[in-house]
């Protein structure tokens, strides 16, 4: 019995350490729901805004993969599958291993942006345009945030182009 309880606490502690996390902030909004991919300039910003409008405010749920609740890596996974027909891994760690790293100054729509949000926690979002990215926030659900927000700027880790 003690072993089962100890295992439960270890699993709970690990899930807290590796989960996505964020702070509360006001979402920034822009809309233009045109579809899919422009060649050589990344993924369509219009498709990404369309995804935002379909998912805006969906609550955060660790491990969630539906409009009843979703986490940051699940949202990236679902977005790439539904909007671009691309299958990405389910976890933030595995997503961070994809593609090639790009500088923050070279970001294009559809690039993944990663943040270190704790000693062992990571967060992922999808770059939109003009210093904005789309993600699933623990406090606000699916939202748009700015990379130059003090929290995101100080926790920025890297960007990856798929």
Name the catalytic one among 20, 46, 77, 135: 135
Active site residue 87: no
Name the β-bridge partners of 125: 113
**Reported CATH class of domain 20-161:** alpha beta
Phi, psi (degrees; rounded to nearest 5) at 141: 70, -155
Q: Which residues of 59-82 are buried (b: 16+ CB within 10 A; e: fewer)?
A: bbbbebeeeebbbbbbbbbbbbee
Domain ranges of the chain: 20-161
Q: Is 20 a catalytic residue?
A: no
Please report the pLDDT score of residue 124 as a whole number: 98
d(CA 148, CA 38): 26
Residue 78's region, left for phi above 0, alpha for psi from -120 to 50, else beta, is alpha
pLDDT in tens, the chain (162 residues): 556 555 544 544 444 444 554 433 444 444 444 444 344 445 899 999 999 999 999 999 999 999 999 999 999 999 999 999 999 999 999 999 999 999 999 999 999 999 999 999 999 999 999 999 999 999 999 999 999 999 999 999 999 999
Annotated catalytic residue, options 20, 46, 72, 77 = 72
Task: Tell me whether residue 135 is one of the annotated catalytic residues.
Answer: yes
What's this model's pTM, rounded to 2 decimal places? Answer: 0.78
């Amino acid at each position: 019995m003690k072993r089962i309880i100890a295992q439960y606490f270890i699993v709970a502690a690990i899930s807290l350490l590796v989960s996505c996390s964020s702070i509360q902030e006001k979402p920034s909004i822009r809309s233009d729901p045109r579809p899919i991919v422009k060649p050589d300039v990344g993924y369509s910003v219009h498709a990404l805004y369309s995804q935002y409008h379909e998912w805006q405010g969906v609550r955060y749920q660790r491990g969630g993969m539906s409009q009843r609740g979703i986490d940051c890596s699940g949202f990236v996974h679902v977005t790439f599958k539904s909007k671009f027909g691309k299958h990405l891994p389910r976890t933030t760690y595995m997503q961070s291993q994809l593609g090639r790293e790009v500088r923050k100054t070279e970001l294009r729509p559809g690039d993944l942006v990663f943040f270190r949000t704790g000693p062992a926690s990571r967060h992922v979002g999808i770059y939109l345009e003009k210093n904005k990215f789309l993600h699933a926030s623990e406090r606000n659900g699916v939202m748009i945030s700015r990379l130059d927000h003090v929290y995101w700027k100080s926790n920025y880790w890297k960007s990856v182009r798929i």
